[in-house]
Amino acid sequence: MSAPRAIRKLLVANRGEIAVRVIRAAHELGIRTVAVYSDADRTALHVRGAHEAVRLGPAPPAESYLRIDRIVEAMERTGADAVHPGYGFLSERAAFAEAVEAAGKVFVGPPAAAMRAMGDKLSARAAVAGSGVPLVPGAPLAPEAGPAGWLAAAREVGFPLMVKASAGGGGKGMRRVAAEAEVPEAVRRAASEAVTAFGDGTVYLERYLEEPRHVEVQVLADAQGAVLALGERECSVQRRHQKVIEESPSPVVTPDLREAMEAAACAAARACGYRSAGTVEFLVDARRRFYFLEMNTRIQVEHPITEERYGVDLVKEQLRIAQGLPLSFGARPPEPRGHAIEARLCAEDADHGFLPSTGVLGAVQLPGGPGIRVDGHVYADQEVTLHYDNLLVKLVAHAPTRAEAIARLRRALYETRLPGVTTNIPLILRTLDDPRFVSGRYDTSILEHAAPPPADSDDLVPVVAAALALHRRVRPTSVPAAPAGRSLSAWRAQGRSAWGGPA
Amino acid sequence: MSAPRAIRKLLVANRGEIAVRVIRAAHELGIRTVAVYSDADRTALHVRGAHEAVRLGPAPPAESYLRIDRIVEAMERTGADAVHPGYGFLSERAAFAEAVEAAGKVFVGPPAAAMRAMGDKLSARAAVAGSGVPLVPGAPLAPEAGPAGWLAAAREVGFPLMVKASAGGGGKGMRRVAAEAEVPEAVRRAASEAVTAFGDGTVYLERYLEEPRHVEVQVLADAQGAVLALGERECSVQRRHQKVIEESPSPVVTPDLREAMEAAACAAARACGYRSAGTVEFLVDARRRFYFLEMNTRIQVEHPITEERYGVDLVKEQLRIAQGLPLSFGARPPEPRGHAIEARLCAEDADHGFLPSTGVLGAVQLPGGPGIRVDGHVYADQEVTLHYDNLLVKLVAHAPTRAEAIARLRRALYETRLPGVTTNIPLILRTLDDPRFVSGRYDTSILEHAAPPPADSDDLVPVVAAALALHRRVRPTSVPAAPAGRSLSAWRAQGRSAWGGPA
Amino acid sequence: MSRGTRYFATYGGRERQVEILTRPDGRLEVRVDGAAHPVDVASVGPSGLLNLLMDGQSVTYAARFEDGAAVLSFHDREVRVGIEDERTRLARQATGKAKARGRGAEVTSVMPGVVKEVRVAPGDRVRDGQALLILEAMKMENEIRAPHDGVVSEVRVAPGEAVEKGARLVRLEPPPEDAG
Amino acid sequence: MSRGTRYFATYGGRERQVEILTRPDGRLEVRVDGAAHPVDVASVGPSGLLNLLMDGQSVTYAARFEDGAAVLSFHDREVRVGIEDERTRLARQATGKAKARGRGAEVTSVMPGVVKEVRVAPGDRVRDGQALLILEAMKMENEIRAPHDGVVSEVRVAPGEAVEKGARLVRLEPPPEDAG
């Protein structure tokens, strides 16, 4: 690892909302930024937001955002002295951190050794085993053992179990297995997905806990040796192991449990010589016992809910730590305030098997007002493609109480318009109304048993709305032709005259 | 005043960002909302955000938002049981509150008697005079006294002085007078503006303090008799007496001064039997003496900076108080956190005499991320007209320290795009860089001595940018015709092929 | 006021007649099964959104048309309303009912993606739920399964091929009568 | 590579020649006073914004054209660049210099608004800075003042009239020679 030093120019090796997020933090610290982009992202917000931008290659990640060589070359070309990897892509590849450091540049993240220990879930279990952190029963899996060997390992762990990518995260390379017959196919598919997503097909088995809650603890560790926890995030609202809604504090975590989990998280971080921001994930069972799941050695998608409660900018802290500075707030984190919830707005048809939705965004309308934070990368005319993950916007609501935060998030979702694609907003709204969510008594299966979309009502509004929309379509002669160019007043006038004046 | 009772349906008698703001608070409390609109606002965000909407009349305020009769009629028609007046328009007209209460409905605001006492600046001075609140030297003005009489009153007050509309606010009906010769014209113009803006041409004279800072204190008073202050807001960055940037806490206010000003503000509120949210404005002179200026008996444009620091939703508190509920946070306000700054983004050409700018907004891009709150009413294709004030968006930055809040606001302003109109963003950015602002040592004259826009540099970017933009215009044959309808990919493709691929 | 344009809307299992008339003052009047409803509709912005004021509600929505239905996107849900104008209905009635479906069935892609792997070939017998092919979309691999028992009569895609939503992937014929 | 299109840009008190060429691969090359600059420009969204990558900068801007100049809106400022293509320049040079300005001057409206009051009449002598009329815009009353001493030769608007930005309001002739 190179010695800490001042960062003057930061290359952000990512795209989407997290690239925008990192650029924001850098600019607030007076650090110049360099964006990198694939051909699909030429006009993306992170390209426009950064001071400079360098093309990496064609749209597929393997030819752009996963190209370590091109990213290091872009750092050389622009004179960037540090790189922030965001999440996903190269963020947990120790080889990337090493390549950056070999070029004499700063990697904004943990030491490569800590990434290696924690990035692989198997070695992570080994790393924390000695530190008293409780572990879920599990077993490694040798590819060469073949189906028979896999089955033997599976029997040892017990059913139901999970096949998981060792290098994984975000639900990719993950399969739940209920019975022995499913083991071979699940292992093959998980390994194949893991190769595609992470370039590493190693998978392992882990006991599947019943009614588990997914609760994670945010840690910060600086170069001076301080290791601090900033409370927990409840991440049990998941579909296909992708988090959809996260909240802090967790409704299930008592002050005693929090203290124990924070201590375990700090112990795990110390066990691997951690530095920077990191997240220790736990499963909490129905009896409030917790088990170490993995450590994410990067900034997490859902980090804003911690930031809102603590008034701490975690990305700025990462940048401080990478420069050898101590944490901004001294020896103790600020007192957390209120309750925060994040919803991930994704381009997908949640009511039809969570199918991804693609298209061109129209005039997006994002919410605002008190206690609403928007982290997105959307803009009018943006093409939503299949190349990257389908997260468009993270909405965070912060309020004095959990009930107020839920009400605030609801109203913000009602304000949001992302025309041109189908989003999971209807599902999120129904989840916020789900009695299990409202009571706080839910586990990671909540979305599997989600209420279906409401049945058609006898409300006349849809009937009239459909007729008016068709009327407009079939009677174009009754309206003036849409003017060329941007004569929008005329277009608006058409809307008025065609559809009638005030009631 | 009618007895407090539960509000089930709230009519919002306003437009623009404050109407959107009030609707947000109501929806979070589960209260149904009714918007009212003029013909210019048929598709405005507040109309779309509310559950119901009622047309008031043509665009001019006198025929729509100032029509008490039509608003009360809309309440009757929709069954609204309460009205929130926002700021401006009818918000400080006691007659409006009385008409609402005569109809058996709830006015969300102070008792009409308190509005009358404080709404008129002359009676406000009288009301607080007995409570030990320090007053600026001033004098009433009899219209019938004529120029000679006015001049006599002006001599008594002393020069320089201000002519102010008694019913005024927001810089309207206000004139600074440096010498005797200017008195008659200033009085006539101020009175004329006051008639237009407030329907009341009464004006008065007040001594003009040198190097004054405009600092106001937020108060909340509930029906149970609690009267609390929530710190101050520094509002000295003004142009033509319109606030442009506000911050909290004020860089000039010491803990002792804050305590004294909060006590004076609460005394003023008690002196007029106040209830609801209100703001007591003070001038603070170079020697940190403070003088009562007026009390605004409504929610204030800049209320969000207080909300961000205290974690309190002032509009929700107004709605609670109107229903007879005590303040949500008990006997003491929460501890404030960090520093908050608001910038008012207006459609005006600040570099050319603050001329109003009108037009049709294009694809607006609003900022987000940590510590950024956006209160706006903008949307793509919105027509910005001359009928209403030119406030488009309020940006609020909240951070642990003043320096971080300034840096955060700067980066948020850089993210903001409001194509189609000219805005004051360049002026705001230059002000945030102004050494007087950075040091916190500024007074209400800061914008009078603002730095001019920077001179042209020898940067080649503008040269190339201009040539490329013209090239696109004069060589239309080299690009495919813009496709009809929403084939935006083709349009984007045009942009790519015409302007070259990746460098 | 003259007779307006009639539409037939099917929603919530019920068909209603909607008549849209232009009043002499240029405003629209909407009648649902004969009952007049005051409405006001305005276009919002460049994305084809409409704002409808009706029956004490302010509702903003977008509409697209698919197979004789309007898919309406409200802020919190998508709703499907069968909709037909009078002329279309008369024309359809004159040419008889819609053609009966053929016996075979197409398995179509429910999402855009790239075919990663094809698991079946023409002539294969498949079971309800059996994986026919693997489609990769947004870095997730999705198994496309048989909607019922049958025999593959045609495979229309090959590995590596990009497909749109609704693309026909595999044609399935009903299983022979002796199939269990 | 063939000769490109030439533009003449005046900015910061200096004129530069900008040549834009299309390379064989379809990309553009920009030369400023002969020196090549790698650039990449792309349209962003529906509002005519352009993003320019050049000399280590990512710059997003909108352009409008007024009187032979481009007004460029960057995120933090508006910049005016005189700009002319070669053809226009040649045509202008052929027809001689722009006509000299007439001796009288028009006072134009610097903003859209409604005329509230007219303070002068044809024949009036006015002083530099004297209020000619009152224009109301956004509820503020603004005095439109004489840009120099002169004599009113024509008043083109009346109270109550709505005027656009740039509208001619009053014509001022130079004052008689004896004016102080």
Q: Give the whole-angstrom CA distance, residue B272 versus residue B219.
A: 13
| Residue owning tokens 């047309």 | B55
More confident position, B158 or A405: A405
pLDDT at A143: 81
What the block records as the tokens of B171 is 């810089």
pLDDT band at residue A498 using 50, 70 and 90 as cut-offs:
very low
How many angstroms separate the first and last alpha carbons of chain A? Answer: 70
Q: What are phi and psi of A412, to 5 degrees?
A: -70, -40
Helices (H) and strands (E) in chain B, counts: 16, 21
CB B439 within 8 A of CB B389: no
Strands (E), B308-439: 339-346, 348-349, 355-356, 359-360, 372-376, 383-384, 391-399
Helices (H) and strands (E) in chain D, counts: 1, 17
DSSP assignment of B218-236, as one string?
Answer: EEEE-TTS-EEEEEEEEEE
Q: Give the whole-angstrom CA distance, residue D79 versus residue B259.
A: 47
Q: Where does residue B161 rank: exposed (0-12), middle (13-18), buried (19+ CB within 10 A)?
A: buried
- A339, A476: one domain: no
Give CA A281 to chain center in angstroms.
14
Bridge partner residues of A283 (DSSP)? A214, A291
| Residue owning tokens 């990640």 | A61
Q: Give the whole-angstrom CA distance, residue A257 versus residue A265.
A: 12
- Letter for the amino acid at A302? E
| Residue owning tokens 């803990």 | B255
In a mutational test of the A interface, the residue from C138, C142, C143, C144 whose CB has the highest number of chain A CBs within 10 Å is C138
- A147, A271: one domain: no
pLDDT at D131: 82
- A220, A240: one domain: yes
Give CA D58 to chain center in angstroms.
26
Give CA A200 to chain center in angstroms.
21
Residue B273 has pLDDT above 50, yes or no: yes
* Nearest in space to C106 (alpha carbons), one of C175, C171, C173, C174: C171
Per-residue pLDDT of chain C (180 residues; tens, 9 = 90+): 557 899 999 998 899 999 999 888 777 889 999 999 989 999 998 888 999 999 889 999 999 998 789 999 998 888 999 999 988 888 877 765 443 334 567 888 877 788 888 999 888 888 877 889 888 876 667 778 787 788 888 888 888 888 887 788 888 887 775 443
Residue of D nearest to A35 (CA): D58
For residue B223, give the CATH number of its domain. Answer: 3.30.470.20
pLDDT at B243: 96
Residue A116 lies in a domain: no
- B171, B237: one domain: no
Residue range A384-412, pLDDT digits in tens: 998 999 999 999 999 999 999 999 999 99
What the block records as the tokens of A446 is 């909540």
CB atoms within 10 A of CB D26: 11
pLDDT at A169: 67
CB A269 within 8 A of CB A216: no
pLDDT at B258: 97
pLDDT at B488: 31
| Residue owning tokens 């008129």 | B120
* Mean of the per-residue pLDDT values of chain B: 90
The DSSP letter of residue B298 is: S
Interface size, chain B vs chain C, as Cβ–Cβ contacts under 8 Å:
38
CB A187 within 8 A of CB A141: yes
Q: Give the whole-angstrom CA distance, residue C30 versus residue A469.
A: 13
Query: Over B350-361, what HEC string results?
Result: CCCCCEECCEEC
Strand pairing category for C57-66 and C49-54: antiparallel
Give CA A106 to chain center in angstroms.
24
The region, left, alpha or beta by phi > 0 then psi within -120 to 50, assigned to residue A372 is beta
Residue B482 has pLDDT above 60, yes or no: no
Residue of B nearest to D9 (CA): B463
Residue range A462-496, pLDDT digits in tens: 999 999 999 987 654 333 333 333 333 333 333 32
Q: Give the whole-angstrom CA distance, residue B281 versus residue B170.
A: 12
* Mean of the per-residue pLDDT values of chain A: 90
- A349, A389: one domain: yes
What the block records as the tokens of B357 is 């700018």
Interchain CB distance below 8 Å, C44 and B379? yes
Residue range A182-236, pLDDT digits in tens: 999 999 988 888 888 888 888 999 888 878 899 999 999 999 999 999 999 999 9
Domain ranges of chain D: 5-87, 94-173
| Residue owning tokens 């709150």 | B373
CB B488 within 8 A of CB A361: no
Residue range D47-99, pLDDT digits in tens: 889 999 998 899 999 999 987 899 999 988 889 999 999 888 888 777 654 43
Q: Give the whole-angstrom CA distance, residue D161 versus residue D114.
A: 6
Q: What is the ipTM of this complex?
A: 0.81
Residue range B83-110, pLDDT digits in tens: 999 999 999 999 999 999 999 999 999 9
The distance of C153 to chain A (nearest Cα, Å) reads: 26
Chain C: touching chains (3 or more CB pairs < 8 Å): A, B
CB A35 within 8 A of CB A19: yes
Residue B130 lies in a domain: no
pLDDT at A311: 97
pLDDT band at residue B454 using 50, 70 and 90 as cut-offs:
confident
Residue B477 lies in a domain: yes
Q: Give the whole-angstrom CA distance, residue A42 versus residue A14.
A: 13
In a mutational test of the C interface, the residue from A460, A472, A497 whose CB has the highest number of chain C CBs within 10 Å is A460
- Letter for the amino acid at D96? G
Residue range A282-317, pLDDT digits in tens: 999 888 999 999 999 999 999 999 999 999 999 999
Residue B263 has pLDDT above 60, yes or no: yes
Sorted by sequence, the CB contacts under 8 Å of residue A225 that are 6+ apart come out as none
Residue B346 has pLDDT above 60, yes or no: yes
Residue B1 lies in a domain: no
- A21, A78: one domain: yes
- B336, B423: one domain: yes
Residue B479 has pLDDT above 60, yes or no: no
- B225, B300: one domain: yes
Residues of chain A contacting residue B338, judged by C-beta atoms under 8 Å apart:
311
In a mutational test of the D interface, the residue from B348, B470, B491, B494 whose CB has the highest number of chain D CBs within 10 Å is B470
Residue range A416-447, pLDDT digits in tens: 999 999 999 999 999 999 999 999 999 999 99
Return the sign of the alpha-carbon dihedral for residues D61, D64, D66, D69.
positive
Residue B501 has pLDDT above 60, yes or no: no
Q: In which order are the strands placed within the sheet that holds A242-248?
A: A290-296, A276-284, A213-221, A227-239, A242-248, A339-346, A391-399, A372-376
Bridge partner residues of B176 (DSSP)? B162
Residue B406 has pLDDT above 50, yes or no: yes
Q: Give the whole-angstrom CA distance, residue C7 versus residue B20.
A: 36
Q: Where does residue D13 rank: exposed (0-12), middle (13-18), buried (19+ CB within 10 A)?
A: exposed
- B197, B100: one domain: no
pLDDT band at residue D4 using 50, 70 and 90 as cut-offs:
confident
Sorted by sequence, the CB contacts under 8 Å of residue A271 that are 6+ apart come out as A127, A128, A130, A131, A133
Residues of chain A contacting residue D44, judged by C-beta atoms under 8 Å apart:
43, 48, 379, 381
Give the CA dihedral A355, A360, A362, A366, nearest 10 degrees: 50
Count: domains in chain B: 4
The CATH classification number of C94-173 equals 2.40.50.100
Residue B129 lies in a domain: no
Q: In which order are the strands placed within the sheet that holds B172-177?
A: B138-140, B203-207, B161-169, B172-177
Determine the topology of domain C5-87 in CATH: Glycoprotein, Type 4 Pilin (3.30.700)
* Nearest in space to A281 (alpha carbons), one of A230, A214, A219, A347: A214
Q: Give the whole-angstrom CA distance, residue A9 versus residue A30.
A: 9
For residue B98, give the CATH number of its domain. Answer: 3.40.50.20
Residue B481 has pLDDT above 70, yes or no: no
Q: Give the whole-angstrom CA distance, residue B151 versus residue B165.
A: 17
Q: What are phi and psi of B65, to 5 degrees?
A: -70, -15
Residue range B37-77, pLDDT digits in tens: 999 999 999 999 999 999 999 999 999 999 999 999 999 99
pLDDT at A455: 82
Residue range A33-54, pLDDT digits in tens: 999 999 999 999 999 999 999 9
What the block records as the tokens of A297 is 């050695």
Residue A303 lies in a domain: yes
Residues of chain C contacting residue B381, judged by C-beta atoms under 8 Å apart:
44-46
CB D134 within 8 A of CB D143: yes
Sorted by sequence, the CB contacts under 8 Å of residue D60 that are 6+ apart come out as A48, B417, D44, D49, D50, D51, D52, D74, D75
Task: Tell me the residues of C at the B interface, defined by beta carbons under 8 Å apart.
Answer: 40, 42-48, 51, 53, 56-58, 60
DSSP assignment of chain C, as one string?
Answer: ----EEEEEEETTEEEEEEEEE-TTS-EEEEETTEEE-EEEEEETTTTEEEEEETTEEEEEEEEEETTEEEEE-SS-EEEEEEEEHHHHHHHHHT-SPPPPPSSEEEE-SS-EEEEEE---TT-EE-TT-EEEEEEETTEEEEEE-SSSEEEEEE---TT-EE-TT-EEEEEEPPPTT--
What the block records as the tokens of B30 is 């589960």
What is the domain range of residue A367? 213-449
pLDDT at A3: 52
Residue A51 at interface with chain D, using a CB cutoff of 8 Å = yes
Query: Is omega for the bond preceding C112 within 30 degrees of 0, making it cis?
Result: no
Residue A23 at interface with chain C, using a CB cutoff of 8 Å = no
Can you state the angle between helices A112-119 and A94-102, rounded to 10 degrees?
Answer: 170
pLDDT at C179: 40
The DSSP letter of residue D100 is: P
More confident position, B1 or C34: C34
pLDDT at B166: 82
**H-assigned helices in D12-94:** 86-94
pLDDT at C90: 83
Q: Give the whole-angstrom CA distance, residue B293 versus residue B283.
A: 6
Nearest-by-Cβ selection for A311 from B42, B313, B337:
B337
- Letter for the amino acid at D17? Q
3-state secondary structure of D160: coil
**H-assigned helices in B272-339:** 303-310, 314-322
Interface size, chain A vs chain C, as Cβ–Cβ contacts under 8 Å:
194
CB contact burial B91-114 (16+ within 10 A = b; e otherwise): bbbbebbbbbbeeebbbbbbbbeb
- B286, B333: one domain: yes
pLDDT at A466: 96
Within this chain, domains C5-87 and C94-173 share the same CATH topology: no
CA separation, residue A126 to residues A118, A132, A187 (Å): 9, 11, 22
Interchain CB distance below 8 Å, B363 and A368? no
The distance of C157 to chain A (nearest Cα, Å) reads: 18
- Letter for the amino acid at A226? A
Interchain CB distance below 8 Å, B492 and A381? yes
CB B277 within 8 A of CB B314: yes
- B226, B161: one domain: no
- B397, B442: one domain: yes
> In this predicted structure, which of A247-256, B336-345, C153-162 has the lowest mean pLDDT?
C153-162
